[in-house]
């Protein structure tokens, strides 16, 4: 409860500052929005540590290949950062750059997930007579 109120507080304060600052210096208002995003994200990321540890311990107990979990986590991280960058760009009114960042991140994710895809295909080939 304390955490969510903190995040909401940071967000609202950032919002008020941006609204005030936009009348005088719109270029500085963007920085405030970036900082608000960074603060909230860092807060959230620190909370994620427990979840990731849990996932890793579960995968250690079962017989799943540990590399797959690593790749999954990496993909999650990439989407995390990409989402941050994309939202900043679209906030600043640069929709084109935002969509390009999205495309780039999608390409990177696909190249990273190639091992998973190949192993899936192999599994299918094994099952098929």
Partner 1 sequence: MDINLLFKIAAVGILVAVLHQVLVRAGREDQAMMTTLAGLVIVLSMVIQQISSLFNTVRTLFDL
- Contact residues toward partner 1 (CB under 8 A) are 9-10, 13-14, 17, 20-21, 24-25, 27-29, 31-32, 34-36, 38-39, 41-42, 45-46, 48-49, 52, 70, 73-74, 76-78, 80-81, 84
102 vs 112, beta carbon nearer partner 1: 112
d(CA 33, CA 56): 34
Tokens of 103: 């495309």
Nearest approach, Cβ of 59 to partner 1 (angstroms)? 14
Nearest approach, Cβ of 52 to partner 1 (angstroms)? 7
Nearest approach, Cβ of 115 to partner 1 (angstroms)? 16
Q: 37: closest CA among 76, 80, 74, 79?
A: 80
DSSP 36-60: HHHHHHHHHHHHHHHHHHHHHHHHH
Nearest approach, Cβ of 6 to partner 1 (angstroms)? 9
CA angle 112, 73, 1 (to 5 degrees): 150
106 vs 122, beta carbon nearer partner 1: 106
The residue behind tokens 């579960």 is 58
40 vs 102, beta carbon nearer partner 1: 40
């Amino acid at each position: 409860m304390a955490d969510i109120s903190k995040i909401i507080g940071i967000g609202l304060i950032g919002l008020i500052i941006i609204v005030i600052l936009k009348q005088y210096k719109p270029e500085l208002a963007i920085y405030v929005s970036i900082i608000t995003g960074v603060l909230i994200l860092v807060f959230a990321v620190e909370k994620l540590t427990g979840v990731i540890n849990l996932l890793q311990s579960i995968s250690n107990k079962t017989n799943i290949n540990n590399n797959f979990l690593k790749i999954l986590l990496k993909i999650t991280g990439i989407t995390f950062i990409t989402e941050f960058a994309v939202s900043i760009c679209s906030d600043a009114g640069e929709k084109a750059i935002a969509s390009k960042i999205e495309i780039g991140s999608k390409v990177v994710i696909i190249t990273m997930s190639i091992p998973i895809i190949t192993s899936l295909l192999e599994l299918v080939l094994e099952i098929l007579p």
